[in-house]
Amino acid sequence: MSKRLFDLVAAGVGLLLLAPLLLALALWIRLDSPGPALFRQVRVGRHGVPFRIHKFRTMRQQADGGSQLTVGPDARITRAGRLLRRYKLDELPQLVDVVQGTMSLVGPRPEVPRYVECWPPEARRTVLSVAPGITDWAAILYKDENAILGRAADPERAYVETILPVKLACYQRYVRERSFWLDLRIILRTLAAIAR
């Protein structure tokens, strides 16, 4: 209950304070390339229930149905999208998901169904026992994930065989150790990583 209350208050205050910035970014996205400002994608939530995550659109609209991995200097990324991704501003609309209760501020990052199917059954049960989050240890560790995949000969294989197991270990560590103070620590580490 305390985690949910903190999420509601923090996300609600965040949306109010950031409203001018969110509106400015939405307008910039619309002017930069044709299409909506928001991008919604099916992710797997708590207890395996699918939900649609909110993000600012960073790719050309016709490209949204392509690969689910962003690799290096992906040609699909718009001019506005490059800056949004660099400073993680594309994630800000997920505050709406937190208010709605499908996400938390801190928790394992929600994956697309395709990659959740790659998880071992025990890891799946553990990770999906909590609400997914906007940030966690894996998000901090792999803040430059698209650049890492851009250097791989086979990005899909590198993600499934190299990155995904490390992410799963981070997710399971969080579930085992989660607490209010750990959430605050992860939020501060995330802000510091973005600032750097």
Per-residue model confidence as pLDDT tens digits over 77-105: 899 999 998 888 999 999 999 999 999 99
pLDDT of residue 62: 64
Please give the Cα distance from 90 to 187 (Å, whole number).
17
pLDDT of residue 71: 60
pLDDT of residue 75: 78
**For 59-77, what is each residue's pLDDT tens digit?**
987 644 555 666 656 778 8
Q: How many domains does the chain have?
A: 1
**For 11-28, what is each residue's pLDDT tens digit?**
999 999 999 999 999 999
Q: Domain span at residue 139?
A: 2-195
Span 165-189, mean pLDDT?
Answer: 95
3-class secondary structure, 196: coil
3-class secondary structure, 44: strand
Residues ≥6 apart with Cβ < 8 Å to 167: 109, 138, 142
On whether the CB atoms of residues 127 and 108 are closer than 8 A, the answer is: yes
* pTM confidence score: 0.89
Q: What are the angstrom distances between the C-alpha of 158 and each of 6, 91, 113, 150?
A: 36, 24, 18, 10
Name the β-bridge partners of 133: 104
**Residue 10 pLDDT level (bands cut at 50, 70, 90):** very high
Please give the Cα distance from 55 to 4 (Å, whole number).
21
